[in-house]
Every structure is written in C-alpha cells, then in structure tokens.
Structure 1
Amino acid sequence: MTKSLFRNSLAMLGMVSTVAWAADSPASLMAHYAATAGVPVSALSATRGETLYRTEHPGRNGPMVSCANCHTANPKQAGRTRVGKQIEPLAPAANPQRFTDAAKVEKWFRRNCTDVLQRECSAQEKGDFIAWLNQTK
C-alpha cells in the first residue's frame, strides 16, 4: 500500500513538473518549446505560427474552423467563443498577461489544438505560434 502510494505520488509529481518550468514570459515559453522540440529558439518561425493560426481545418461537425474563428483575424483584438463569451486578445502586445502562466498555456493549447486540429499541437507548433504572437505589435 505504501509503495503504491509512493509510486502514484511520484507519477503525479512528474506530470506537474512538465508544466512547472519558469514560464513568466513568452520568451521563456518559446525557449521551453524549442528545447522540447529539439531545435534552437532561432528555428522557431513566426510565419509558421501565423499559418497555424489562420489555416482552416475540417471541424468536428462539418464546417471549416481556424483559431481566427474565435480569436478574430487580428490577435490584438478580443474574440468570442462559440457561445458568445469574450476572449481576451492573444497578442502579448495587447494583453501583457498572455503567455505568462505555463499551466494555463498548456491547458488552452491542449483544448484549442484538439478543437481546431483534431489533435494536440507539437512543441514546435506551440513555439512557432508564440513566436508569431510575440512579434505582433
């Protein structure tokens, strides 16, 4: 019983530590995602990040969807969810709190990538996406 509890605790600690890096800025998140992808930060591409944001993909229920459907074509503007709830701007230039909480970033990447792409985003895609938004002024 004690061994099992210990193993489960270690497993939980491992899951928590995957998002517990020091992510207090878009730059630190980009560095983390680049390292996870096995590439230098300089290999992250704002162009690929923008393409990921704007490209439409088949939705679960038929219509094509993209990140811009909810977040708007301009990431410096507030968007709306499908049920009408306001979404704060994605671009750190318009919303300084964006990309400052690693756990929140992971939560929303997991949810939104699954909704739009029908899969989780890769570390490279996450880094590219933040690289684009971080240079959007």
Structure 2
Amino acid sequence: MSTMRMLLNELAPEARDQLLRQARPVRFSADTRIFRERQHADRFWIIESGRVELDKHVPGPSATLVDTLVPGDLLGCSWMISPYRWRFGATATTEVHALEFDGQAVRELCAQDTSVGEAVSATVAAAHARRLLR
C-alpha cells in the first residue's frame, strides 16, 4: 500500500479533509531539481504520477542514488524535523504531478488535531525508515 493511502486510511473523514485542504497540485518537468540536500525544508509532496530520484552527496563527482519514488510515495520528510533541512536531494526523472503541502501549515494542523498529528508522524517516520534501510 502506498504511503499516501496508508496516511489517508488512518484518518477520520473530517481529518482527511482538513489535511487535503492544505494541498495544492504542482507539476515538475523531467530533469527538474526539486530540492537540494541541506537546503531549508518547508514542504512535502505526495507523488500522483511520475518518478523522483532521491540522492545523497558523497565525496566524488556525483551523488549516490538513495531511492526512487513512484506514485503514492511521500517526497520529503525533513519538513517535520527541526532544523528543517533536507537530508537528501530530489530530482524529477520524468514529468511529475504531485500534491504539495506547506510544512508549517501541516505542523500546525498536527498540533491542533492529535489524530492527524499521529497519522502524519507515523507515515513520515515509516517513509524515512524505509529510505534509511535501503
């Protein structure tokens, strides 16, 4: 089951609607650098179509591939954890359509509604753990 489906299935309908009200559709062209490692992390995305590669800088001429994300995957976990810096970089390898969420607004929603906060926290932690274990 995709990260997004897991998150949405765990939320009551009202909480799901509150979270989805924070979303806006975005599009990235193929070969677009979405974010770079160590930059300020202030948002996240749910991939609806396309592919995104996560990379990590290592000594040498190129970055190391960490993961390839596909529809239903969560792109961006660092918006939730202070100091809010991207732990990886991300590049769209195909045209990508996604839902973009403002990190600050979702953190505020999570603080106001514990059911949303618990579901979002569990989903972000699971996505982050999966990437670290690869």
Q: Which structure has the greater CA radius of gyration? A: 1
Return the structure number with greater helix share: 1
Q: Which has more strand, going by share of residues?
A: 2
